[in-house]
Amino acid sequence: MNRFIAFVKKEFFHILRDRRTLLILFGLPLAQVLLFGFALTNEIKNAKIAILDNDKSQHSQQITNKLLASGYFQLQENLRSNHDIERAFRKGNIKLAVVFPTGFTANYEHGRSTQIQLLADASEQNTAISLTNYATAIIRDYTAERNPNAQPPLTIDVRSRMVFNPELKGAFVFVPGVMAMVLLLVSALMTSVTIARERETGTLEVLMVSPLTQGQILLGKVVPYLLLSFVNGCIIIALGVFVLHVPLNGSLLLLLSETLLFIFLALSIGIFISSLVDTQLVAMFASLMAMLLPTIFLSGFIFPIESMPKPLQIISNIIPAKYFISIVKGIMIKGAGLQYLWQPTAVLIGMSLFFMGLSLRNLKTRLS
């Protein structure tokens, strides 16, 4: 046991002596969370719109006011004719145009069918869809308020409610994703580099000749990073909850345990990578390529897995972050317990054992 403690202590010296390691370890998560949390958001606020009011009446004015009061829209210009619509879009400074036809109020008051035209700039298709949805909802709201008793026969009234995230906040998606990414990156990168460094300097050979067992060497490499990464995980959770206001509906204990499990998996992958490569540089690139890119693109962190082509959907099943993200979302946002999350948890445990076993074997054969 004393041998093991001496080994772990040495690892801490390595980490604390190396400014760059420390910076990556603690600077990266902070920067990522704040960047993704604040800068990258798919919520829409103050989208610029144009109004073409051919009716200039009471109702068209009130609907316009209601749209602008919602906070989603901001009036860029009042158009005078249909020709202006195209010009305004061309200039690129409006995202949506609202057109009231002549006789709008008259038709509306007499109970005849009326129309409002919404034109959206679909060169940004997601924004266009969101904006027309918001505007439609606001206009429908207006008519409902006006005629609370009007029950047009035989119409189906669709009401949607966004459960778990009624305000459609982007941070709900990004915080679990960033957490997975940072933990995976930091843990896997750090361990793979530290073992490759021992190999490069020849000290690994000396360790293998010493009475330390292979298990002790691997564990000694893992323990310091496990602790530091766990602190990291806690910082990210705290930032998410207190700064970005992501709810924590489930059990904190479960969340922390799952985080620890995921860190252990990331470390196993790091050791696995280092058991395959010879130099720190290769270890670093391998970790980045094998971890960062698949995690960003295939974990469902940025692009929804459901809308990927079938082959990519299948590949996404081997991305550890996919399971961790669904677990974190489940716990924090849906308040789910282990009875709902045992499946992804089991996958993470299985992956950890797989990589640990493989790297133990590799390390042995490679030294021979």
Partner 1 sequence: MEKAVSTNALTKKFGSFIATNAITFDVAQGEIFGFLGANGAGKTTAMRMLCGLLKPTSGEASVAGFDVYRQSEKIKQNIGYMSQRFSLYEDLTVRENIRFYGGIYGLRRADIPAKTDQILQKLGIESVADSLVASLPLGWKQKLSFSVALIHEPRIVFLDEPTGGVDPITRRQFWDLIYEAAHGGTTVFVTTHYMDEAEYCHRVSIMVDGVMKALDTPAGLKTAYNVDSMDAVFQILARGTSTK
Q: Where does this chain bind partner 1 (CB under 8 A)?
A: 2-3, 5-7, 9-10, 13-14, 17-18, 201-203, 205-213, 367-368
Residue 225: CB minimum distance to partner 1, A: 16
Structure token digits, residue 182 = 């940072």
Q: 132: burial class by Cβ within 10 Å (0-12, 13-18, 19+)?
A: middle
Residue 367: CB minimum distance to partner 1, A: 6
Structure token digits, residue 180 = 């997975």
118 versus 223: smaller Cβ distance to partner 1 = 223
Residue 14: CB minimum distance to partner 1, A: 6
- The sheet carrying 73-79 orders its strands as 73-79, 47-53, 96-100, 117-120
63 versus 218: smaller Cβ distance to partner 1 = 218
Task: Measure the CA–CA gap between 364 and 344, rounded to whole angstroms.
Answer: 31
Residue 231: CB minimum distance to partner 1, A: 22
Q: Residue 78, Cα to own-chain centre: how many angstroms?
A: 38
Asked if 212 and 7 touch (Cβ cutoff 8 Å), the reply is yes
By DSSP bridging, strand 96-100 and strand 73-79 are: unpaired
Task: Measure the CA–CA gap between 168 and 267, rounded to whole angstroms.
Answer: 34
Q: 165: burial class by Cβ within 10 Å (0-12, 13-18, 19+)?
A: middle
31 versus 367: smaller Cβ distance to partner 1 = 367
202 versus 309: smaller Cβ distance to partner 1 = 202
Q: Is 15 helix (H, G, I), strand (E, B) or coil?
A: helix
Residue 366: CB minimum distance to partner 1, A: 11
19 versus 45: smaller Cβ distance to partner 1 = 19
What is the Cβ-side half-sphere exposure of residue 360, based on CA atoms within 13 angstroms? 13
Q: Residue 305, Cα to own-chain centre: how many angstroms?
A: 12
Q: Is 115 helix (H, G, I), strand (E, B) or coil?
A: coil
What is the Cβ-side half-sphere exposure of residue 11, based on CA atoms within 13 angstroms? 24
Residue 250: CB minimum distance to partner 1, A: 42
203 versus 279: smaller Cβ distance to partner 1 = 203
Residue 356: CB minimum distance to partner 1, A: 21
Residue 209: CB minimum distance to partner 1, A: 4
3 versus 80: smaller Cβ distance to partner 1 = 3
6 versus 106: smaller Cβ distance to partner 1 = 6
Tell me the residue length of the chain. Answer: 368
CA dihedral 50, 56, 58, 60 (to 10 degrees): -30
